Amino acid sequence: MTIEISNSTIKKYENGNLLSENTFSIQTQNSIYGDNKKMIVIENRTSQSFEIKDNKLYLNDECHDCYQSEYVRIK
C-alpha cells in the first residue's frame, strides 16, 4: 500500500491503482492512548492519531483491538 498526502487530500494506492481519495483535516483530540494527540480526521471514518519519526509515518487507529500502520517516505 502506498499513500500520497497533500495539504488536505489522502490518496491510497495498491499496485499503482488508486483505491481511495479522501479529504482530511488535522485536529487535536482526546486519544484512547492517553492525552490529546494530533489526528487525521476523515468524515465518516474513525480518526487516526499519527507520529512522524525520521522518514516514517505511523498511523494509529483510535479504537481498541485495531491497527498501527507504518509508512516509509519515498523520495
| DSSP secondary structure, the chain, as one string | -EEEE-SSEEEEEETTEEEEEEE-EEEEEE-TTSSEEEEEE-TTS--EEEEEETTEEEEEESSTT--EEEEE---
Q: What is the pLDDT of residue 65?
A: 87
Q: What is the pLDDT of residue 34?
A: 87
pLDDT above 90 for 58: yes
In the chain, the percentage of residues whose pLDDT exceeds 70 is 100
pLDDT above 90 for 68: yes
| Cβ atoms within 10 Å of 36's Cβ, excluding its own | 11
Integer Rg of the chain from CA:
13
Tens of pLDDT, residues 26-37: 999 999 988 999
